[in-house]
Structure 1
């Protein structure tokens, strides 16, 4: 009797789980992962110009921390890496309308963006820092000191730098720019008091252009994980990507790329002016 009960239970389990299993198989067939493998290429969306994550060199080639990772992802999938340079304000709509397969573009995970796309596990964590005009050295010691209308603060339009200024330094006079380097140059040229942006870029721009003219406040005042973004409803692709990130971060490739692009500035001489 006990054996009969077990058999009936097993049969019932199979009958109940079979539709769910079948649905999972059908969902897997519609995954972006499958279309990438069939097409033989992965189309990666990004906006060139975010140092040192995605940039254009003097040969017109795309280089940087994210580009290296995208190429390694393509290699892991056995497909061709196809870069798709896209304006930042249209990058999420372009992903949703399938202009490319994935965003790898130094994108910070935010709840607002997460309503439109799904994010992988973070592949690096950065935060907002401040590049300050040298005339304020010793007076402005943190973002809190800038919370006054007399200070003009810049950042790039539509970024978490802009969000940080509006949320955490709301009384300051804010000016947005389409390109982050323009926001930085306003400070270097003395037209603005400070710019707020991701720490890696602040350090790079200070070293490259701001010596003697600026002071970098390099203690991040926000927590910002950067992740890849994909279209919603694709658990198979997310699973593959999260496993890739885990492997990439723990087999030495991530550290090698970090040392090359973030800890070193040797690549700067190869950039387009």
Structure 2
């Protein structure tokens, strides 16, 4: 009798443990059974104002154009967006390795990147800029002859610097983060850097000793898009909302907020 009671109690305990385990299983979007919250992780490199950055004077939250756009799309689709910050050069691998669900980082859908990931439609276009000290005398591509030019590692600006090197003799150096490029210029270790124009403008405001000129390129070369793993189910649904935002003016409102209304 004692043995039978013991087996019965053990069965009840086992059933309880299995039920407890089942109640904490996560669904494919990161939520939990019985909980409507679905979570997607966004990979980014939060050193790229006004796209994504941290305003340390106001707190430690990630803010910027890409952050607002991701949250707007997520809200429409019923997802909560969690942001994961990392070096730009590691974003594609993080996406391929399943560490993040998508990437928004002012990323351009180059042909090389398309071999590894899928992209949404382009949601913003900018141009490349050569940034240098005001007293550098650098005003044209020809003025870069014999100079050291910095670029962000893994960025499309690396390719642009390679193009420039075919026109004039330059030494190309890369760094992981945009602020590092700015510091290298100010310290005199770099003569110039290739940076996206809307990003460079933000640094000019806080560094009056810097200036720059814009390179006239094919606009598509500097277009930003959202990156997804190959064959991701999220690509089509993000595109749908993105195009709706283009049509109803919501995307223009975000562009006005982050790029055109800054004094």
Same fold (TM over 0.5): yes
Gaps of 5+ in 1: 1-33, 267-273
Whether contact under 8 Å (2:106, 2:224) holds in the other structure is: yes
Residue 38 of structure 1 and its aligned partner are, at CA, apart by 6.4
The within-5 A match list for 1:98-177 is 98-137=98-137, 140-146=138-144, 148-149=145-146, 151-170=147-166, 171-177=169-175
Select the residue among 183, 188, 194 that pairs with 1:190.
Answer: 188
Q: 1:215 aligns to what SS in structure 2?
A: strand
Could you tell me how far apart the structure 1 residues matched to 2:174 and 2:118 are? 27
Whether contact under 8 Å (2:131, 2:212) holds in the other structure is: yes
Whether contact under 8 Å (1:37, 1:77) holds in the other structure is: no
1:125 to 1:132, Cα distance in 2 relative to 1, 3 A: same
Residue 247 of structure 1 and its aligned partner are, at CA, apart by 1.2
Residue matched to 1:11: none
**1:54 is the counterpart of 2:47:** no
Could you tell me how far apart the structure 1 residues matched to 2:125 and 2:92 are? 21
**1:254 is the counterpart of 2:251:** yes
Q: 1:262 aligns to what SS in structure 2?
A: helix
TM-score (norm 2): 0.78
Residue 190 of structure 1 and its aligned partner are, at CA, apart by 3.3
Residue matched to 1:80: 80
Residue 120 of structure 1 and its aligned partner are, at CA, apart by 0.8
TM-score (norm 1): 0.76
Q: How many residues align?
A: 226
Q: 1:105 aligns to what SS in structure 2?
A: coil
The 4+ residue runs of structure 1 with deviation greater than 6 A are: none
Whether contact under 8 Å (2:131, 2:211) holds in the other structure is: yes
